[in-house]
Amino acid sequence: MTYPAPVTNERIRVGVLGAKGRMGSEVCHAVEGAHDTELVAALDDGDALSALVDAGAQVAVDFTHPGAVLGNVEFCVRNGIAAVVGTSGFDESRFETVRGWLAEAPGAAVLVAPNFGVGAVLSMQFARQAARFFDSVEIIELHHAGKVDAPSGTAARTASLVAQARAEAGAGPVPDATTTALDGARGADVDGIHVHSVRMPGLVAHQEVVLGTDGEVLTIRHDSMNRTSFMPGVLLAVREVRSRPGLTIGLEPLLGL
């Protein structure tokens, strides 16, 4: 991530919930390493949330679990701590609950994102924006051989976004002249978009969105090499969440797309 040097020496005071977990420990490391953030609390199962207040945390980052996250968010909202949430399990009813708490706490801010990979989010948005200018689009996602689901969640979501953009532009089905095919050759159908899943030792997490019109092809490829690739997105959220009162869903609004 490329940022200007901070204009003051004041660092953002950050607490991490789920600090011993796989993602949480990476967040602690990233918060300690950045020039403009400071780790003031690292809590995990059994630790009292009041430690956040005692430590003067301005932002809390939550990578815990679906059973714990709502209580954590409520605590933050009621105590004037902005919350950045990467824990899964949110649906519309949970968002409504959070909005209810926020309505009673003007200025409080919560950001919930299903994916903190800046590159992945940009890929999805670019694919969505480009979709209506091309006759067709297909998605190829490539992951390590240990992945159990196909296609990946990101690929399925990208396909849905692309399909929706095409529908809004009045586009019909993608062209496909196939009359003779082996089962599966043309991939999975996600909202009318063909999605292909490659599984291979040596790969990590990769996705290509291929868009074509007669005479030209646009390819948006994202390669994620390891989970540190999520940290720039987490730090971006930490830096920006307090300037966005209320509930923000997804990293997209912070990317200025």
Residues 192-251 that bind a second copy (CB under 8 A): 194-204, 210-232, 236
For position 9 contacting a second copy by CB under 8 A, the verdict is: no
Q: Which letter, b or e, does each residue of 147-163 get, where b requires 16 or more Cβ atoms within 10 Å of its Cβ? A: beebbbebbbbbbbbbb
Q: Show the binding pattern over residues 148-187: x = contacts a second copy (CB under 8 A), - = does not.
A: xxxx--------------x--xxxx--xxxxxxxxxxxxx
Q: Choose between 10 and 45: whose C-beta lies nearer to a second copy.
A: 10
Q: Choose between 93 and 179: whose C-beta lies nearer to a second copy.
A: 179
**Among 43-51, 56-64, 82-90, 127-135, which window interacts with a second copy (CB under 8 A)?**
127-135
- Is 86 flagged in the annotation as binding? yes
Q: Choose between 78 and 221: whose C-beta lies nearer to a second copy.
A: 221
Query: Residue 71: exposed, middle, or buried by beta-carbon count in 10 A (0-12, 13-18, 19+)?
Result: exposed
State yes or no: is 147 an active-site residue: yes
Q: Spell out the residues 6+ positions from residue 26 whose beta carbon is closer than 8 angstroms to its own.
A: 227, 228, 230, 231
DSSP notation for 196-231: EEEE-TT--EEEEEEEEETTEEEEEEEEE-SGGGGH
Phi, psi values for residue 76, rounded to 5°: -60, -50
Given 29, 35, 65, 143, which residue is catalytic? Answer: 143
For position 128 contacting a second copy by CB under 8 A, the verdict is: no
Amino acid (one-letter) located at 255: L
Positions marked active-site: 143, 147
Binding residues for (S)-2,3,4,5-tetrahydrodipicolinate are 144, 153-154
